[in-house]
Amino acid sequence: MAYYNFKFMSMLAAGLLLLAHAVATDNFLIADNSTTVKRGITLSPAMNGINFPDPSVIRIGNEWWAFSTMSHYNGKRVHVPMAHTGDFSTWTSFGEQDALPNLPSWVDPDAPAVWAPDVVHLAPGRFIMYFSAALKTSPQTHCLGIASASTVTGPYTPIGTAPWACPTAQGGAIDPAGYYDPSDNTRWVVYKIDGNSIGHGGSCGNTVQPVVSTPIMLQQVSVDNGFTKIGLPRVLIVNDPADGPYVEAPSLTRMPDGTYVLYYSSNCYVTPLYDVSYATSKNIRGPYKKYGGLIQTGTYGLTAPGGLNMAINGNHSVFHANWNGGRAMFTALISGQGSQLRVWVKSS
């Protein structure tokens, strides 16, 4: 399996960390985007490019499971589709099998629009899923829910009869992702305030002034159950003019040197400007410094890549990009130190 290095920010330090399971140096192509595009290399999506948007990934032992936004298989609505791999290369879709077959009572049953689920392993036999879904009393608004299961594939059972987080006055909330910090045995959830849902028009509903804020939030939760809130949420980053209508799809990880990396997407997802960006901090609570696009349109033939999700405190990540009218899942391995990152992707 060959992986190619296609983007790095700043100048790479001599001591930049390699992947834990590093392969030979001659298997890597180190290049910037312009050089890469000229080489004509195109990435291959997982599962032959089936629609699998907003993917998240979890590693259990030496296997990985991925979950995605609601889709349809053979005409059946699947709230949370799943996929599996034993080698992080060949993925198998679970098809019509639904990780979240039953929705909580607060979700609109006719058009639930379950988006961007994320699964965390709390302890042996204990898993929690974070997800967003349309509010029954206000279907244009998404709120965050939680569900639990005894196995990674579920089925997951909703916890409680009310949303876990539902800031309706600010536009609702989407894109939750759990994170465990081994440095101090704490758990956290990052998510997006969906301000563009109450925007004033333009690209993705939020480029006409006044642009509504879409902050990425950080909420500490119980290390035991993954959902009892500890304190109030705090803002990590907000959408600046360069971000277009919003920032979204957050995912946290911690590098071996103690640097926290917040991956996120910026610009409108239906345009080629959509990307994977990142910001770093020495403290999980911030402040975070943005470094801009890491994976962008044109990178190895990708269009509108975004929604990158990291396996907690690992190198393995998944993201989506436009493919045959849908959004297919792609994989990448990421390593780095401080603000300097390297991304390896599987060649076609």
Token output for 163: 């949303």
Of residues 98, 108, 118, 248, which has the active-site annotation? 248
The order of strands in the sheet holding 157-158 is 115-123, 126-135, 138-149, 157-158
8 Å CB contact between 145 and 175: no
Domain boundaries of the chain, sorted by first residue: 3-346
Cα distances (Å, whole numbers) of residue 273 to 62, 162, 302, 303, 322: 35, 36, 11, 9, 12
List, for residues 293-314, the tens digit of each pLDDT value: 999 999 888 999 999 999 988 8
pLDDT at residue 132 in the model: 99
28: pLDDT confidence band, cut at 50, 70 and 90?
Answer: very low
The dotted CATH code for 3-346 is 2.115.10.20
Is 50 exceeded by the pLDDT of residue 26?
no
Is a pLDDT exceeding 80 seen at residue 36?
Answer: no
**Active-site position among 54, 108, 175, 243:** 54
Rounded mean pLDDT, 20-44: 41
The answer, as to whether pTM is greater than 0.95, is: no
Distance CA(60)–CA(58), nearest Å, equals 7
Known catalytic membership, residue 108:
no
Determine the pLDDT at residue 311: 95
CA distance 68 to 348: 23
pLDDT computed for residue 336 by the predictor: 87
- Model confidence at 14, in pLDDT bands (50, 70, 90)? very low
Known catalytic residue: 175?
A: no
Cα distances (angstroms) measured from residue 232 to each of 107, 128, 188, 218: 24, 21, 12, 9
| Residue partners of 167: CB distance under 8 A and separation at least 6 | 173, 193
